[in-house]
Chain A
Amino acid sequence: MKARVVVTLKGGVLDPQGKAIEGALKSLSIDGVTAVRQGKVFDIEIEGDDRDGARKTLSEACERLLANTIVENYAIEIA
């Protein structure tokens, strides 16, 4: 089973990397971009076909390692 975890910075948390990318887009004359926030994507393979079990496993993975929940949110997608 394939799953994807997306980790993003919480609203209001300063994202210097996103700001730098925003600046680089401007310098490429790619117009109309008003804000960039950078996050992380994890593509994960899970054994078996128990979707609820997979969701539970991935939630634990996010809480304990993949995200720092002080400043990050996570979303789990199971294919």
Chain B
Amino acid sequence: MKSAVILFPGSNREQDAARAIREASGRAPAIVWHADPELPPGTDLVVLPGGFSYGDYLRCGAIAARSPIMRAVARHAERGGLVLGICNGFQILCEAGLLPGVLMRNASRRFVCKMQHLRVENATTPFTRGYAEGQVVKFAIAHGEGNFEADDATLEAIEGAGQVAFRYCDAAGRVDQAANPNGAEHNIAGVFNRRFNVLGLMPHPENLIDPLVGGIDGRPLFAALAA
């Protein structure tokens, strides 16, 4: 698998993403600068990492979503290529129109940084086939604006099409407001596009690949992509 991690001014999780990919696939991803007009030829997977691109100016991900490389990422997605956006990368994908909805300020008004249980909602995609449907996993979350919002028609459409990838839940897999860290509609932590080749999620699977730092629940995601 040939992969590329996009580096925006203010990205700060690109090395975590690169390490997760390297350990899963045995091959280091290209680190691609946001101002580049093209992806490296033959790229299979594009990862938009976490961070604070452009200092969250205007809206989270808004400026990064209009950078030159994003036109190439949109063409890659249009061709059926895989795109994974984590945290700020999810915000960028929503702003770029590659995913539905928008990430708003957390309802609590607080930045949340903690471990969070998630329920896998759709395990039939290239990203999630290493998990079982309904499986409860534990990832890290660290964001101030992860409150997923969309209008009712959009929510109905993404629920109906199985586009919800992960939902916030408790250790027992219960999805309720007590387990919702940011106010996201329907406890949505991650969504796919209609073709299931683009995934955005607020939690950080790339940080859960080593038992030394809290668990390995993120490994199956990268292993599935690398397989």
**A70 & B107 in contact (Cβ 8 Å cutoff):** no
Q: Is the CB of A70 within 8 A of B62?
A: no
11 pairs, CB–CB < 8 Å, chain A vs chain B: A13-B149, A16-B104, A16-B105, A17-B109, A19-B109, A68-B95, A70-B102, A70-B149, A71-B102, A71-B104, A71-B149
Q: Mark B138-161, 1 if CB is under 8 A from A, else 0.
A: 000000000101110000000000
Given A70-B151, A71-B149, A13 and B104 contact (CB-CB distance below 8 Å): yes
Question: For this complex, into which size category does the number of interface residues on chain A fall?
Answer: 10 to 19
Q: Chain B at the A interface: mostly helix, strand, loop or mixed?
A: loop
> CA–CA, A38 to B216, complex, Å?
41
B106–A65 CB distance below 8 A: no
Q: For residue A14, which residues in chain B have a CB less than 8 angstroms away from its CB?
A: 104-105, 107, 147, 149, 183
What is the CA–CA distance of A16 and B95 in the complex, to the nearest angstrom?
Answer: 20
B149's closest neighbor in chain A, by CB? A71
Closest B residue to A9 by CB, please name it: B104
State how many residues of chain B have any CB contact under 8 Å with chain A: 18
A19 to B151, CA, bound (A): 21
CA distance A13 to B102 in the complex (A): 11
3 smallest A-B Cβ distances: which pairs? A16-B109, A16-B105, A70-B102
From A19, which residue of chain B is reached at the shortest CB distance? B109
The answer to whether the Cβ of B212 comes within 8 Å of any Cβ in the partner chain is no
Docked pose: A20 CA to B106 CA in angstroms: 12
